[in-house]
Amino acid sequence: MQKFRDVLSRWEARELSAMDAAELIGCSERHFRRLRKHFDEEGLEDVASARGEGRADRHVREDREQEGCSRRSRTG
């Protein structure tokens, strides 16, 4: 999250465009603007949730993907 804060401060100082800031943090310009809005309204914790950090459903997808692979190997 420190990187987001650094990029945001550079964007606020007009050192970066929104497009350049987004590229540095690895998202689209539109998503960068959404993250900035979340930061303004709720702070850094809300930005982390908006970025999807700590999402548990990723593990569920991986488990289902492995289950599907083992199911295919039994039938194949």
Q: What is the pLDDT of residue 21?
A: 95
pLDDT digits (tens, 9 = 90+) for 54-67: 445 555 555 555 66
- Name the pTM for this structure: 0.58
> Would you state the structure tokens that stand for residue 24, as one six-digit string?
């540095």
Domain layout of the chain by residue ranges: 2-75
Please report, in angstroms and rounded to a whole number, the separation of the first and last CA atoms in the chain.
Answer: 45
pLDDT digits (tens, 9 = 90+) for 2-37: 888 899 999 999 999 999 999 999 999 999 999 999
Q: HEC profile for the chain? A: CHHHHHHHHHHHCCCCCHHHHHHHHCCCHHHHHHHHHHHHHHCHHHHHHHCCCCCCHHHHHHHHHHHHHHHHHHHC
